[in-house]
Structure 1
Amino acid sequence: MHAKEIVLDFYKSDVILDKNAVKEFLHPEITIDWNSSKGFIQMNFDDIIRLVEEMSKAYLRSKIKISHIIEEGDTVSVRFSHFVKTIENQREEMLLAHFFVIWEIKEGKLFKGFQMSQFS
């Protein structure tokens, strides 16, 4: 599977809310360097799984709308908007944030991520 296909599969609807599905995409030594509107965060495998568990408690649905995706070898850059439906308001889809991430793929898994985000 090409690096771009791995990233596209990872961002399919609701995968990000399912920790077992997410685990299938993550290299055991994964790291994400994340610059958010709240500051810098560095996450590893366990941190990512904890984030997924927290998100699945708050959101019923997750949808990623990709506007740009570029593959070069084992590196994929993707720009997307993340929409969610909350438990409190199941009928309304809301924009959570805009993201840009560069993924390095290793052994068919997400290995290193360099991400920036901004709340909507």
Structure 2
Amino acid sequence: MPCLLIRAFALSVFLPMAAMADSDAKSVIRQQFEAFGAGDVPRAFEFASPQIQGMFGTPGNFGLMVEQGYPMVWNHSALRFGGSRTKGDDTIQTVLVTGVDNAIYVLEYTMVLTADGWRINGVRVVPPAGLGA
């Protein structure tokens, strides 16, 4: 019986924390999309992890990479969230983006928890399920 109580307590504490972390990570992604949509590249750059910021150095370099490499992020018509999973200390969040070309893109955002909260540490385009690799 005590084991069941410990499990119930753990679930009551950790499941809400996991849901809050998931919500916070999604909020960061959404805010970055909004910043790109508003043409506010410096604001979008703030949502990148320190590692990504160090790699690109300036918001301008970062914005150029996104514009050229991820046009569906730079200019999109809709987004919605899929599932998420953990990989080590990171959270991988699936995002379905409708580009201005009306194509649907599946993106996996790697999210890291920093001293400033969740930040985006990478994005990769994945083939939609059932279409092969």
CA distance 1:111–1:97, change in 2 (3 Å): closer
In 2, the alpha carbon distance for the partners of 1:78 and 1:70 equals 7
Identity of matched residues, % = 13
CA distance 1:74–1:3, change in 2 (3 Å): farther
- Report which of the two structures shows the higher radius of gyration computed on alpha carbons: 2
In 1, the alpha carbon distance for the partners of 2:63 and 2:78 equals 18
* Deviation, structure 1 residue 83: 0.9
Q: Which residue in the other structure is 1:65 paired with?
A: 80
Q: Which residue in the other structure is 2:122 paired with?
A: 113
* Deviation, structure 1 residue 22: 1.1
* Deviation, structure 1 residue 65: 1.4
Structure number having the greater helix percentage: 2
Judge conservation of contact 1:79–1:99 (CA < 8 Å) in 2.
Answer: yes
Amino acid at match of 2:42: N
What SS does the aligned partner of 2:25 have?
Answer: helix
Judge conservation of contact 2:45–2:62 (CA < 8 Å) in 1.
Answer: no
* Deviation, structure 1 residue 25: 0.9
Higher relative contact order (CA closer than 8 Å, sequence separation 6+):
1
Q: Which residue in the other structure is 1:85 paired with?
A: 100
Does residue 34 of structure 2 align to residue 25 of structure 1?
Answer: no
Q: Which residue in the other structure is 1:4 paired with?
A: 22
Amino acid at match of 1:26: A
* Deviation, structure 1 residue 100: 2.4
Q: What's the Cα RMSD here?
A: 3.8
Judge conservation of contact 1:27–1:110 (CA < 8 Å) in 2.
Answer: yes
Which stretches in structure 2 are left out of the alignment for 5+ residues? Answer: 1-19
Scaled by the length of structure 1, what TM-score is found? 0.54
Structure number having the greater strand percentage: 1
What SS does the aligned partner of 1:49 have?
Answer: helix
In 2, the alpha carbon distance for the partners of 1:15 and 1:96 equals 20
2:62 corresponds, among 48, 54, 59, to 48
